[in-house]
Amino acid sequence: MNMAERAAGAVGGSVAGTIVGGLVGNFAGPVVGAIAGMGAGAAGGFGSGFLVRKIAHLFREDDDVIVGRMFTAVLLNTVMDYLLSQEEQEKMVELLSKDTKKLTRLRRRLVKSRTPVQDIQKYLTPIMSQATVGRNRITAIEEKQIQADTNSIVANGELSYEM
């Protein structure tokens, strides 16, 4: 988007400067024509760049809006993946609010990144770990028991132990 705005500014400025400079130069002399051409070129460049920016934003969102939406989507998916409780969500929001500098650096990197989703996940992983630090963890033995119970339910259609 930025390149299109600059190109439109250059072309618009050149055209305006040439037309005005030529017209004024014929009547008032080459020096006055050059000065008038420079002024018209600056105004034409600014105007055409501004116009292209406004028209382009009707069709394509600004990068910051896109990055913000992507961050929100990845954040919501991560919250669901971690099955955060209300307290853990509040802790996560508190942690995100504390370090605005890192978040700003991340936003700048995401605009240029080829793997923005992975970059956001990498940023969120330590925050999620801190938010869930007081959570009871499932041991390897408990995980194997849960897997065996799940397999039993699927295979037999019933629970293998009393509830």
Distance CA 73, CA 120 (A): 10
Domain co-membership, 33 together with 68: no
**157 domain residue, yes or no:** no
Average pLDDT over residues 77-86: 89
Average pLDDT, the chain: 76
Domain co-membership, 71 together with 125: yes
Tokens 């991340």 correspond to what residue?
106
**15 domain residue, yes or no:** yes
The pLDDT tens digits of the residues spanning 2-55 come to: 555 555 555 555 555 555 556 555 666 666 656 656 666 666 565 666 666 666
**21 domain residue, yes or no:** yes
What's the confidence (pLDDT) of residue 12?
55
**151 domain residue, yes or no:** no
Domain co-membership, 55 together with 74: no
Domain co-membership, 92 together with 110: yes
Q: Which of 85, 100, 98 is nearest to 133 (CA)?
A: 85
56 or 131: which leads in pLDDT: 131
Distance CA 110, CA 119 (A): 7
Domain co-membership, 51 together with 67: no
Q: Which of 59, 13, 3 is nearest to 37 (CA)?
A: 13
- What's the domain range around 21? 2-59
What's the confidence (pLDDT) of residue 120?
93
Say if pTM beats, i.e. exceeds, 0.75.
Answer: no
- Cβ neighbours of residue 158 under 8 Å, at least 6 residues apart? 152
Domain co-membership, 54 together with 109: no
Based on the structure, what is the number of domains in the chain? 2
If pLDDT is split at 50, 70 and 90, which confidence band does 118 have?
very high
**148 domain residue, yes or no:** no
Distance CA 32, CA 40 (A): 12
Does the pLDDT of residue 128 top 60, yes or no? yes
* Pair 10, 45: CB distance under 8 Å: yes
Does the pLDDT of residue 66 top 70, yes or no? yes
Per-residue tokens: 148: 């065996």
What's the confidence (pLDDT) of residue 108?
87
Percent of the chain with pLDDT over 70: 58
Q: Which helix (H) or strand (E) holds 158?
A: none
Domain co-membership, 123 together with 99: yes
Tokens 């050149």 correspond to what residue?
14
CB-based burial label for 2 (10 Å; 0-12, 13-18, 19+): exposed
**96 domain residue, yes or no:** yes
